[in-house]
């Protein structure tokens, strides 16, 4: 825009300079009888010509100043365009960096989702069958966390174990056991506080007591546990002990229910007693012995009556008429 406006201004100034020159020449012109050649020969010596030259020089200087300003303006426009291009390049690089970070975050999120699946949920029912802790055979080493949902330290260390289960997949098995739902295994390993981290290796178990970070636990499960003395894994609890624990749990729950909801608990107990009595009566009737005869004559009469009843209820056979005899 500045270059487009500068060209008309320069033309106007040159036109003004020319008009001024012609006016000066006209004022300094000789008499009417003088020829053009005389004017040309004497134009430098005339005072009017000097003034015209000064006017023309001033006009040229103004035009040059305008050219310089236009040049500076064009240079500023070019510089501004270069700055804009540089800003665009920087913005593009920032966008690429942000996209790369987003891609890394997505990959990390996918990795975490995969890590979660490496942990095996254990309980009283499947602990021995999966880990084979007592025999120390086939399934290999296990690193188990005994935790509780109400324990914040357990929740803090769980992501670390999930990452380790992913890093050492195929080398060490990782499991988690909720002590609230698995009291037998908790008592078997004498777990008194959580989180309890236990490494199972060939019929021995080792308690991890170090810093709960990736480096420390990784060193422990890959051979560091051998620096400590192991404890033989106790055998699974016998059936009598487990039944006794079930009985104790039932009694404690019943007492708690009676203390909080006495009427509802008594009603359910009465319904249970009545249902048990009805089931007992039905079972006794189904298992009752067959009826007996008080004497031989009574048995004969019963047999005769049963035979007569069967003969009466038996359908009679209808005779089919024979066709004509053929020779």
Could you tell me the residue ranges of all domains in the chain?
2-96, 120-232, 239-268
The confidence score (pLDDT) of residue 154 equals 95
Whats the size of the chain, residue-wise? 327
Phi-psi region of 16 (alpha: psi -120 to 50; beta: other; left: phi over 0): alpha
Low-confidence ranges of the chain (pLDDT < 70): 1-10, 12, 24-117, 242, 285-296, 313-327
pLDDT given at position 180: 94
What lies within 8 Å, CB to CB, of 138 at 6+ separation is: 132
- Answer whether 0.75 is exceeded by the pTM: no
Predicted local confidence at residue 188, as pLDDT: 93
- In the DSSP assignment, the letter for residue 118 is T
Give the strand pairing for 204-207 and 231-232: antiparallel
- Contact (Cβ atoms closer than 8 angstroms) between residue 161 and residue 174: yes
What is the sign of the dihedral through the CA atoms of 243, 247, 253 and 256? negative
Residues 6+ apart with CB under 8 A from 233: 133, 134, 136, 200, 203, 204, 205
Other C-beta atoms within 10 Å of 154: how many? Answer: 20
Residue with tokens 């209808």: 318
Return the percentage of the chain with pLDDT > 90, whole number. 33
Strand arrangement of the beta sheet that strand 204-207 belongs to: 120-122, 173-178, 142-147, 196-201, 204-207, 231-232
* CATH superfamily of this structure's domain 120-232: Glutaredoxin (3.40.30.10)
């Amino acid at each position: 825009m500045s270059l487009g406006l500068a060209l008309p201004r320069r033309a106007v100034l040159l036109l003004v300079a020319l008009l001024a020159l012609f006016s000066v020449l006209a004022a300094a012109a000789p008499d009417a009888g003088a020829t053009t050649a005389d004017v040309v020969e004497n134009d430098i010596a005339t005072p009017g010509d000097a003034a015209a030259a000064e006017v023309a020089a001033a006009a040229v200087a103004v035009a040059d100043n305008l050219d310089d300003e236009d040049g500076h303006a064009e240079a500023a426009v070019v510089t501004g365009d270069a700055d804009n291009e540089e800003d665009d390049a920087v913005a593009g690089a920032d966008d690429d960096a942000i996209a790369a970070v987003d891609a890394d975050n997505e990959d990390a999120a996918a990795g975490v989702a995969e890590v979660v699946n490496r942990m095996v949920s254990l309980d009283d029912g499947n602990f021995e069958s999966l880990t084979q802790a007592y025999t120390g055979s086939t399934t290999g080493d296990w690193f188990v966390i005994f935790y509780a949902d109400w324990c914040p330290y357990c929740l803090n260390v769980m992501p670390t174990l999930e990452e380790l289960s992913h890093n050492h997949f195929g080398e060490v098995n990782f499991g988690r056991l909720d002590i609230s739902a698995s009291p037998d295994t908790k008592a078997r390993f004498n777990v008194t506080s959580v989180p309890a981290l236990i490494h199972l290796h060939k019929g021995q178990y080792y308690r991890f007591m170090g810093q709960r970070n990736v480096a420390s636990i990784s060193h422990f499960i890959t051979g560091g546990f051998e620096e400590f003395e192991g404890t033989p894994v106790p055998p699974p609890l016998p059936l009598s002990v487990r039944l006794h624990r079930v009985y104790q749990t039932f009694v404690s729950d019943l007492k708690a229910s009676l203390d909080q909801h006495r009427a509802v608990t008594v009603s359910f107990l009465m319904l249970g007693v009545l249902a048990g009595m009805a089931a007992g009566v039905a079972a006794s009737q189904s298992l009752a012995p067959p009826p007996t005869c008080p004497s031989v004559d009574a048995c004969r009469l019963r047999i005769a009556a049963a035979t007569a009843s069967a003969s009466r209820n038996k359908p009679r056979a209808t005779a089919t008429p024979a066709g004509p005899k053929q020779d």
